[in-house]
Structure 1
Amino acid sequence: MQIGLVLSTTPSYSETFFRSKIKGLREQGMDVRLYCQSKKDDFNHCPVILSPKVSRNPLLQSWYFLKEFVLLLPHLPAIIRYINLERTEGTEFLQLLKKIYLNAHLLKANLDWLHFGFATMALGSETVAKAIGAKMAVSFRGFDIAVYPVKYPGCYTILWEYVDKIHTISNDLLVLAKKHGLPDGIPIEKITPAIDVNLFKPNSKIVNAEELVFVTTGRLHWKKGFVQTIEVLAILKAQGLKFTYKIIGEGPEYERIAFAAYQLGLKNEILFLGKLPHHQVKKELESTSIYIQYSIQEGFCNAVLEAQAMGKLCIVSNAEGLSENVLHEKTGWVVPKNNPQALAETIKKVLGLRSDERNTITQIAQKRVREEFNIEKQQKEFLDFYN
């Protein structure tokens, strides 16, 4: 079976979801190919086919355009089908030429499945799979369903007409997709993220009970709720709580988050550790007292799975998949988002638990992550998805 996975770029070291999926499928004899706009030097998990080049130089772009259309000639039947499908959707001539060029790497493909790793990646390519005689799959992950359609209502109307199967990482994302027009008749399968449970497991290191350390891992972006978390910690500091808050990750809103820490008087309590490899993330988690993920929007969040697997007490918001990731008062605590008082009270409640109560929570969480969110289980589910 030949499977084409469409992403903007090849998965980085930290994107275990895609890397483990590719590895598992290939180990089962599947022919997996990545279709991307760019390729990282360290990626060698499968063949990579890059999309046509785009240049601001008109002469250079004209050459790219001509060269690509010549290469498309052996695939004329697929091109004709694609043109007919796009005409049915009302695509105008000049726009059609542009779409043929941008989708040229896909229109030349010989695949059984064309799988767009994010719903937004399928925009402008909705009819390609049918044109090349492949089935079309799309994954829902977070931003593409929870945020993008709010900004661009009706953006997936054409996609719903052509998609053959849906992959979602959480039930909440599926509910949102239905609000944005996903029809009932399309087959859907939930396959959650997974982690390396052999790496993220607790060791014998004893955490200093007198040294309170909070940790959050994630891209420095508004949807991760860092500013809201800092506001809550400022309240707790004013009430006499002493702590260190470590933020692991990098992103476009570092200045905003760092300024919030400074303005709220937490400059000395907050450490920005930047982007870390897995083994260093594990090391930071070893000394963590409570892991906090107070996101405004979150598809599922591997970092929370890693913290639970390490035996850490986890407090998360109820943003999308987080309430499936953590079971409230069973494997951690789920707090309504945009409710700083509720988060502050929950942190104080967790800090006041007896040691046996903490151990019960963490042990149940560890067992659940090992059994339900391991990479081997995820790989088998993806094999079943295509079969």
Structure 2
Amino acid sequence: MTYKIGLVLSKPPVYSETFFINKIEGLQEAGYEVVLFVQNNAKSFNLSKTIQAPKVSKRAWLQFFKSLWVFVTLLPYYKRLLLFIRLEKEAKRSHKQTLKNIYNNAHLLKAHVDWLHFGFGTMALQSEHVAKAIGAKMAVSFRGFDIDVYPLKHPGCYELLWTQVDKVHAISNYILKRTYEYGLSEQVVTQIITPAVDIELFKSEKVDSRLTEASFNILTIARLHWIKGLTASLEALALLKQIGIRFKYTIIGEGIEYESLMFAIHQLELQDVVQLLGKQPHESIVNYLSDADVYLQYSLSEGFCNAVLEAQAMGLLCVVSDAEGLQENILHAQTGFVVEKQQPALLAKALENLLHLPSQEKELIRKAAKVRVREVFNLEKQKKAFIEFYE
């Protein structure tokens, strides 16, 4: 049996977001119909039908007429609307918040789908009753930000969601464990589907496994955010520089920590060996990975991390922190190296040891990582997993 799936995201996935692209393509190949519900840029996506949420205007008079029109368009769906209002009332939502939720969820309240799947846990907030109101099952995906950051600022944010969701998707065992800690009942059906890699795109023809100070190029691809542990990474590299080890460190990504990281680079006297390249086109990422020897991901917390998978697929030697999901991504001393987080001295020592590791051992680790990614984290396996998810 095939279903009609409504996938809810803030905006259509771009080419680099293979997780969503691959999921949509896999479901369509299996005969499922996929409709994308987004808040912005609906016209920029043509892989599936895309419906955009009502926009909110800053002008009060314009918003009044927009709201009036949205409520008029919902009249043919009055039974759904009345049920939604009743459910909101039973949850003790204020009248004002209920009205906001009706407006913001109007495109979903008109939907005819079998499954309404929110691509991020935070996307389901204030939409908890939509699926029941339209007679659909509700699925929610949880990733790093949903679990590691948002609930810290908004305690109890998922309490209502836990009572409404039919099935939960988590990208790692760690993420699933955290959902239980935040209150998800073990009676709710769950499934772990990890990120996957396009092994045809992320592949390297390099066969030289030598790693010397003349070729010690380290790469990180990450948001410039405190949770990525970039300051600790810089401190570790400063220790390497102090003992005379030569290297180049490149960070690709943008974010709110740019200025503080630039300050740290100057304070640690790393200007000559560290560069922040900002956001780069996805098609150029393969080239940066090809030029690197070591991939470093020293995060304080990670749900899983696609970039580490891509680095392994390209044959880079990976050094990561022991942050939860990364321990599922990397098998210590088998497919890479795991170092205790927030310990720059330990990280520096691990990088130094890696530099001096015999070439034969480095080559075994490279090969083991590439084989594991190819066999465990491939796109075809991910496609099959999502088909099973809805069945």
Deviation at 1:80, TM superposition (A): 1.2
- Which piece of structure 1 moves more, 244-253 or 124-133? 244-253
- Find the counterpart in structure 2 of residue 50 from structure 1: 52
- Find the counterpart in structure 2 of residue 229 from structure 1: 233
- Find the counterpart in structure 2 of residue 140 from structure 1: 142
The one-letter code of the counterpart of 2:139 is A
Q: Deviations over 1:1-26 (max 9, x none)?
A: 11111111111221111111111111
Deviation at 1:278, TM superposition (A): 3.6
User: Number of aligned pairs?
Assistant: 387
- Find the counterpart in structure 2 of residue 301 from structure 1: 305
Partner SS state of residue 203, structure 2: coil
For residues 222 and 63 of structure 1, the distance between their equivalents in structure 2, rounded to whole angstroms, comes to: 42
The one-letter code of the counterpart of 1:142 is G
Deviation at 1:211, TM superposition (A): 2.1
Q: Decide whether aligned partners of structure 1 residues 294 and 357 sit closer, same or farther in structure 2, where only a CA change above 3 A counts.
A: same
For residues 222 and 388 of structure 2, the distance between their equivalents in structure 1, rounded to whole angstroms, comes to: 30
Asked if structure 2 preserves the Cα contact closer than 8 Å seen for 1:232 and 1:344, the reply is yes
TM-score normalised by L of structure 2: 0.96
For residues 103 and 40 of structure 1, the distance between their equivalents in structure 2, rounded to whole angstroms, comes to: 16
For residues 43 and 271 of structure 1, the distance between their equivalents in structure 2, rounded to whole angstroms, comes to: 33
Partner SS state of residue 324, structure 2: coil
The one-letter code of the counterpart of 1:306 is E
For residues 42 and 275 of structure 1, the distance between their equivalents in structure 2, rounded to whole angstroms, comes to: 20
Asked if structure 2 preserves the Cα contact closer than 8 Å seen for 1:169 and 1:193, the reply is yes
Match of 1:126 among 119, 125, 128: 128
For residues 214 and 306 of structure 1, the distance between their equivalents in structure 2, rounded to whole angstroms, comes to: 15
For residues 166 and 307 of structure 1, the distance between their equivalents in structure 2, rounded to whole angstroms, comes to: 28
Deviation at 1:46, TM superposition (A): 1.1
- Find the counterpart in structure 2 of residue 317 from structure 1: 321
Deviation at 1:154, TM superposition (A): 0.9
Identity percentage of aligned residues:
52
Partner SS state of residue 141, structure 2: strand
For residues 263 and 36 of structure 2, the distance between their equivalents in structure 1, rounded to whole angstroms, comes to: 40
The answer to whether 1:61 aligns with 2:59 is: no
- Find the counterpart in structure 2 of residue 347 from structure 1: 351
- Find the counterpart in structure 2 of residue 115 from structure 1: 117
Counterparts of 1:241-280 in structure 2, within 5 Å, are 241-280=245-284
Asked if structure 1 preserves the Cα contact closer than 8 Å seen for 2:42 and 2:52, the reply is no
Deviation at 1:331, TM superposition (A): 0.5
The one-letter code of the counterpart of 1:91 is R
The answer to whether 1:34 aligns with 2:52 is: no
Partner SS state of residue 65, structure 1: helix
Asked if structure 1 preserves the Cα contact closer than 8 Å seen for 2:194 and 2:377, the reply is yes
Asked if structure 1 preserves the Cα contact closer than 8 Å seen for 2:12 and 2:44, the reply is no
Partner SS state of residue 154, structure 1: coil
Partner SS state of residue 182, structure 1: coil
Structure 2: gaps of 5 or more residues: none
For residues 279 and 90 of structure 1, the distance between their equivalents in structure 2, rounded to whole angstroms, comes to: 48
The one-letter code of the counterpart of 1:360 is L
Deviation at 1:295, TM superposition (A): 0.8
Q: Deviations over 1:43-62 (max 9, x none)?
A: 21111111111011111000
Partner SS state of residue 321, structure 1: helix
Match of 2:367 among 350, 363, 375: 363
Structure 1: gaps of 5 or more residues: none
The answer to whether 1:191 aligns with 2:193 is: yes
The alignment yields a C-alpha RMSD, in angstroms, of: 1.4
- Find the counterpart in structure 2 of residue 13 from structure 1: 15
Asked if structure 2 preserves the Cα contact closer than 8 Å seen for 1:200 and 1:282, the reply is yes
For residues 84 and 285 of structure 2, the distance between their equivalents in structure 1, rounded to whole angstroms, comes to: 46
The one-letter code of the counterpart of 2:362 is R
- Which piece of structure 1 moves more, 31-40 or 234-243? 31-40
TM-score normalised by L of structure 1: 0.97
For residues 376 and 349 of structure 1, the distance between their equivalents in structure 2, rounded to whole angstroms, comes to: 36
The one-letter code of the counterpart of 2:316 is K
For residues 282 and 306 of structure 2, the distance between their equivalents in structure 1, rounded to whole angstroms, comes to: 12
The answer to whether 1:372 aligns with 2:390 is: no
The answer to whether 1:329 aligns with 2:330 is: no
For residues 119 and 204 of structure 1, the distance between their equivalents in structure 2, rounded to whole angstroms, comes to: 40
Counterparts of 1:137-216 in structure 2, within 5 Å, are 137-204=139-206, 206=208, 209=212, 210-216=214-220
Q: Decide whether aligned partners of structure 1 residues 124 and 141 sit closer, same or farther in structure 2, where only a CA change above 3 A counts.
A: same
Match of 1:93 among 95, 119, 123: 95
The answer to whether 1:75 aligns with 2:67 is: no
